[in-house]
Chains A and B, each alone.
Chain A
Amino acid sequence: GIQVEQSPPDLILQEGANSTLRCNFSDSVNNLQWFHQNPWGQLINLFYIPSGTKQNGRLSATTVATERYSLLYISSSQTTDSGVYFCAVNYGGATNKLIFGTGTLLAVQP
């Protein structure tokens, strides 16, 4: 089956710093999403981005489907950005069925 690898596994930043999280996947996909799980456990959808680039405030994401990777950029990080960031892609021939990576744990220190 498809493999989803995220890097780095964990990251510590000072407030105000920028970061790039990476998601590699082993097969072609037509559904890729980024999620943030906050310290209270809530999973928030950040982007649906099977290809191309999107931006939402301080966050942006780029997916290069032909090269099987996606990047999530966080600029001017804030303590509220702390948590786990998951990449998820579709699998099993179904567009709407997602498998999740193991996540990147981000800690932003004041």
Chain B
Amino acid sequence: DAGVIQSPRHEVTEMGQEVTLRCKPISGHDYLFWYRQTMMRGLELLIYFNNNVPIDDSGMPEDRFSAKMPNASFSTLKIQPSEPRDSAVYFCASSDPGTGDYGYTFGSGTRLTVV
């Protein structure tokens, strides 16, 4: 398996622009997570899905953030409009607890810079 695939790896955008981050989980994994990492706040959970359904979005910072999972192999995290304080590394992870192992597999992350 190619693992969890995120795109783009790096994104530089201007304040006010829309940003879309993409994630392809490992095939067969039924949980998908979006995390954000910053120096100040560390790794924080934004939202997670089970079988394509959003379960908990309490970590989404504000209405400017939205996430979708239209099918089992694709998810997006969108920021509209983007602000400089959104600059961070955004990680996607997936897991398959049905195997008895809740271990997460992370993607390589998207480094977002909003100028």
Contact = CB atoms under 8 A, between A and B. Distances in A.
Interface in A34-82: 35, 41-45, 47-48, 50
Interface in B93-115: 93, 95, 97, 101-106, 108-109, 111
Given A41-B89, A41-B108, A97 B45 contact: yes
A45 B56 contact: no
Contacts of A41: 89, 108-109, 111
A95 B105 contact: no
Which secondary structure dominates where chain B touches chain A? strand
Q: Give the size range of B's interface with the partner.
A: 20 to 34
Top 8 nearest A-B pairs (CB, nearest first) are A48-B103, A43-B106, A100-B43, A45-B103, A31-B102, A48-B101, A48-B102, A96-B31
Interface of A: 31, 33, 35, 41-45, 47-48, 50, 86, 88, 92, 94-100, 102-103
18 contacts: A41-B89, A42-B109, A43-B93, A43-B109, A45-B103, A48-B101, A48-B102, A88-B43, A94-B55, A96-B31, A96-B48, A97-B56, A98-B45, A98-B104, A99-B45, A100-B42, A100-B44, A102-B42
